[in-house]
Chain A
Amino acid sequence: MLSEKAQKMNKLQKKILVILILLCLITPVGILLPAFFNTGDAWGEWSAQTVKELVGYVPKGLQKYSDIYKAPLHDYTVNSADRSLMHKSGFYIVSGLLGATITYIVVLLISKIIVRNGE
């Protein structure tokens, strides 16, 4: 189905598609670089445990809400206990391809419903 779609695309769209796929394949840069420089989490995105280490306590509301929802691929990985960079990088690429594809399809569907302008 994807190849059928690709055939209908014009030259520029095919080029962009290739660039997007290549970008997905190099997404592990986004975990390897921070790991290499040993940087922590993004500011304000710490786990409840990390907040406790930072300020000495876990704010009550933060405690209450922090586990309100568990995403199926939390942190772009499965089994986040496995912290090896190989494991994380592999699932990062899969997550990138999956998330980008879903995003593309959802925007396409929403736009097709909204847009009636055929010019």
Chain B
Amino acid sequence: MHIPDGYLSPQTYIPLFGVFVLTAAVAVKKVKDEVSSRNIPYLGMAAAFSFIIMMFNLPIPGGTTGHAVGSAVIAIIFGPWAAMLAVSVAIIIQALIFGDGGITAIGANCFNMAIFMPFTAFYIFKLFRIKTARKPAVTIAAFISGYLSLVLAAVITAVELGLQPLIASAPDGKALYCPYDLSVAIPAMAIGHMLLFGVVEGIITAIIINYILKNEPKLIYAFRKSAKNE
């Protein structure tokens, strides 16, 4: 899901970079209010976890590879704004040091995996309105949140890539950037994430939420908020 340099036109990556910068500015304010200093080490570890989990490329035999991101579980535990900061740092370091994801695509990649995905995951989890942390309900909600948020993030990535032939083509009709249109990009990205990578994201989300619930239940933002509201 890491878009390399050259796949997005400037008309695409510049606005997405703008969205990223604005969102990061809001996130700084939100994190200031929402994260307590004793939880900072956990947030750092969560970001490191996201970095590591993205290295586990999984194969679809006869097809492509992909990986989980970890944004869903981080959003449920720390809230979507803190997740945005944590996962953005991982993505930027992947781009700058390891060339995983393009420099010009940093805004787009952060938008897909560090903004769109954690917010989607968080609100899907909240849809279940879990009041007391009963285990089967939490496990199901966490799995669905992880699964759907990764699949939808893959589709958003596919939309950005698939729009390129429409946005920018040479006079001879040849694409200037990503050569595949939406009809190819969306199924190609969606299928792998629906079959395998989303399932993995769902499973790690459910396992980690249960683990934190057992060991440090007060940490979980998604429950703290609902306790405050009700």
Q: Are A and B bound to each other?
A: yes
Report the nearest B residue to A64, measured CB to CB.
Answer: B6
Alpha-carbon distance A70/B223, docked complex (angstroms): 43
Count B interface residues, CB 8 Å.
75
B-facing mask of A2-24, CB < 8 A → 1, else 0? 00000001001100110010011
With the chains together, A61 CA to B57 CA distance in Å? Answer: 28
Question: Which residues 188-223 of B have a CB within 8 angstroms of A?
Answer: 188-189, 192, 215-216
- Residue among B43, B44, B50, B170 facing the most chain A CB atoms (10 A cut-off): B44
B140 on interface, CB distance cutoff 8 Å: no
In the bound complex, residues from chain A placing their C-beta under 8 Å from that of B21 are none
> Is A84 among interface residues, defined by CB-CB distance under 8 A?
no
Interface of A is mostly: helix
Chain A: interface residue total (CB-CB under 8 A)? 69
User: Which residues of B does A touch, CB under 8 Å?
Assistant: 1-7, 9, 28, 31-33, 35-38, 40-45, 47-53, 55-67, 85-86, 89-90, 93-100, 102-104, 157-158, 161, 168, 170, 174-180, 185, 188-189, 192, 215-216
User: 8 tightest CB-CB pairs across the interface, nearest first?
Assistant: A71-B99, A65-B6, A62-B6, A61-B176, A74-B99, A100-B48, A37-B59, A66-B6
